[in-house]
Amino acid sequence: MKFNIKNSLKIILPLLLGVFLVWYSLSRISIEELIRYFKKADYAFIFLGMVLGLLSHLSRAYRWRFQLEPMGYKVKLGNSVMAVFATYLINYTIPRAGEVARASILTNYENVPFEKGIGTIVAERVADMVVMLSIIAITLMLEFDFIYGFLIEKFNPLKLIIAAFGGLVFLGVIVWLINKSKSTFALKVKGFLIGLIEGVLSIFKMKKKWAFIGHTLFIWLMYLLMFYVTSFALPETSNLPIAALLIAFIAASFSIAATNGGIGSYPEAIVLAFSLFSIAEDPSRAFGWIMWASQTFAIIVLGGFSLVYLPIFNRKNTKTKI
């Protein structure tokens, strides 16, 4: 019973949060005003942003094959691409269910054992996390003066130093306790951290590790360019400082984990980030909805096509490998 309730909450809570944030977002800007922004948007930039997003997804699908080849599985590119698009679409319904479906697709059509498929997906998520943390670190270095000035303005400097020191001490104590503890929770945390480290190190043991790293950097470059290019779709967001775009990109990226596919949370994360730079709410919110809607439209079309075409593709290509 507890297991069922726990899993039900994992599905229901993100959906409820998404519904609430959609309601909140649309209560802050009228639908008529939002439609006005959509009508005046320059769709050439929106389309270019969608193309850049598509390139990142295709690169992700191609990169996946580098992880599978050392295990003896030469997966057809078509199956890898459609599995990736199906993943994104399914994640709009149940959080992280797409990853399970992605591994299952290869099990069904390429005879890749499910646990091995999941293992490669976890490893690539580790690589993505490393790049995301690197983007955050670079943003902090590039915009140190702005971030430092903002914190000094909003908070007492002495309190910040005490809080930072206290946080480090607290983190050190937690790490020490987890390392010493034999509880189930502590063992799970240690296992998770060990798995992350092993996942990162496994990349450097890969035969095509440099190609894998190159594709990983390309994927995130396309994400950044997608965000940057789409900002030119609205006159009000076409001249934003790089700092605003970087911080908004980071906030929006994390928002996708909060609700299914970032519904509701994505535009509000952008509004929150842009507010640090005193950018008006309406164009910020409109830009967030344009970004989210354009990428979601692409995923619905390509993901839906993938789910329908996968059995047809594999019936026609039982002997042909792309």
- How do residues 137-171 score in pLDDT, each as one tens digit? 888 888 777 666 666 666 666 666 777 678 778 87
3-class DSSP state for residue 29?
Answer: coil
Report pLDDT for 216.
93
Q: What is the pLDDT of residues 18-27, one digit of tens each?
A: 888 889 998 8
Burial of residue 218, with CB atoms counted within 10 A of its CB: 0-12 exposed, 13-18 middle, 19 or more buried: middle
Q: What is the pLDDT of residue 186?
A: 72
**pLDDT for residue 287 is more than 80:** yes
Question: What mean pLDDT value characterizes the chain?
Answer: 84
pTM, two decimals, is 0.82
Distance CA(272)–CA(321), nearest Å, equals 47
Structure-token match 């970087």, residue found? 246
Give the pLDDT score at 39: 95
Burial class of 169 by CB neighbour count within 10 A (0 to 12, 13 to 18, 19+): exposed
Model pLDDT, residue 168 = 79
pLDDT level of residue 322 (50, 70, 90 thresholds): very low
Sign of CA dihedral 202, 173, 188, 17: negative
